Structure 1
């Protein structure tokens, strides 16, 4: 588990949040394609009437979150989401400009596109984090100084994010519009602030039916908690 830093919160003062309508539920048995959006902008996957509501708090620059995604994505979906037993909600904990840039890109487009965007960045984290670690001083200066939108666009360009999202059918103009969306930024910051209120101290962390789980930061320990509910 990696500790959370909330230094990026200051960059979005005075932005407004936009309302988002939840998607209509899919027919029973098709829960892996049932995606809705909460009033605070987080994405929910699965049966809205599932007896277990699982919340995952994630930061894209967190190596433990990437490990969890690779290990847990398939068994969580097949064993719990697909049968309609668990609905999964992803909430963002934004820690730095790179994390914010990735979160803005995963949230770009219709709600149905979110979970594959989310998986793309976490499963490929080693590749783009290698670029972070080898970045020049000039690149890092562009990422941390000046206009917020320009900083995120520089991060997206330097770390190859535009090319990654092109694999998902996004053109650069669409992505740049998303990076410049103040309402989206506001929603992501609000989720980070809410995590503080929830008592989250690191990522990944999990909540089941409104209760924050202690000592549960990997798939093995989370699966044990889920199995105890059935």
Structure 2
């Protein structure tokens, strides 16, 4: 079930993240506005992946700086605006992403694009770490956060005071200190991102700010008011927060 905590307005989040210390916000999910409806389509044929590959291994960086896996020309395009601190997003990944990957993305019928929605400073740290390695690693690393959500958020919760102190440090120090305090340097190091590489990314303040600003701009432009928010072929879905609700939409669009 979708969490009903209303999300902090985007611009306020971005401003507060850089201007002053913030308490660790762990309830990151919010309401989603109504959709425009998904046009029903005829069944779509499978499209073979390039020789020696699966479609889920093919990554494309989109014009909006999202990371898309799957057939770039798939007739059914699924977009998720997700927050790495959102329990409902984690539930979607834990209960449905493997089936989405194997039964829909790997058939070449559906592509999946992940766009980050930054809801709080911890989100911002994790999004930057997920994007610190290679483009191909962004979706898998985000998936790892959601698959280990209780562990990640439990460590962050325990580090509440240390995290607040870290966010109060000068910009070039705060994100590294926040990642250290919450155990995120170790978490990502165990998944192939060295601590030195992570520190370098988090010290790039302009890059960090750019990700936060882009998230805010897209949230306003597309009226994304909570996470997860799904789009299918450009149409925003209403009351769809789980794989159980999303799969029939993909099938009606032709993924059958």
Match of 1:112 in 2: 136
The one of the two structures with greater contact order (alpha-carbon pairs below 8 A, sep at least 6) is: 2
The structure 2 residue matched to 1:170, chosen from 193, 196, 199, is 193
Counterpart position of 1:83: 107
Quote the RMSD (CA, aligned, Å).
1.9
TM-score for the superposition, normalised by structure 1: 0.87
Per-residue deviation, 1:148: 3.0
Give the match for residue 148 of structure 1.
171
Shift of 1:54: 0.5
TM-score with structure 2 setting the length:
0.79
Counterpart-to-counterpart distance in 2, 1:201 and 1:111? 26
1:7-56 residue CA offsets vs partner (Å, 9 max, x unmatched): 3312569xxxxxxxxxxxx7266211100112332100000110101000
Contact 1:12-1:189 within 8 A present in 2 as well: no
2:178 and 2:208 map into 1 onto residues whose CA distance is 17
Task: Name structure 2 gaps, 5 residues minimum.
Answer: 20-48
1:19 aligns with none
**Is the 2:166–2:175 contact (alpha carbons within 8 Å) kept by the matching residues of 1?**
yes
What is the rounded CA distance, in whole Å, between the counterparts of 1:179 and 1:225 in structure 2? 38
The alignment of Structure 1 onto Structure 2 pairs a total of residues equal to 217
Is there any run of 5+ residues in structure 1 with no aligned partner, and where? 14-25
C-alpha distance in structure 1 between counterparts of 2:69 and 2:208, whole Å: 19
Residue correspondence of structure 1 range 49-128 to structure 2 within 5 A: 49-128=73-152
CA distance in 1, matches of 2:163, 2:193: 26
Q: Which residue of 2 aligns with 1:9?
A: 14
Q: 2: distance between equivalents of 1:75 and 1:136?
A: 35
Larger of the two Rg values belongs to structure? 2
Task: Tell me: CA distance 1:136–1:91, structure 2 relative to 1, closer, same or farther (3 Å).
Answer: closer
Instruction: State the 4+ residue runs in structure 1 displaced beyond 3 angstroms.
Output: none
Looking at structure 1, the residues matched to 100 and 159 of structure 2 have their Cα atoms a distance apart, in angstroms, of 35
Q: Decide whether the 8 Å contact of 2:57 with 2:70 is kept in 1.
A: yes
TM-fit CA distance, 1:147: 2.0
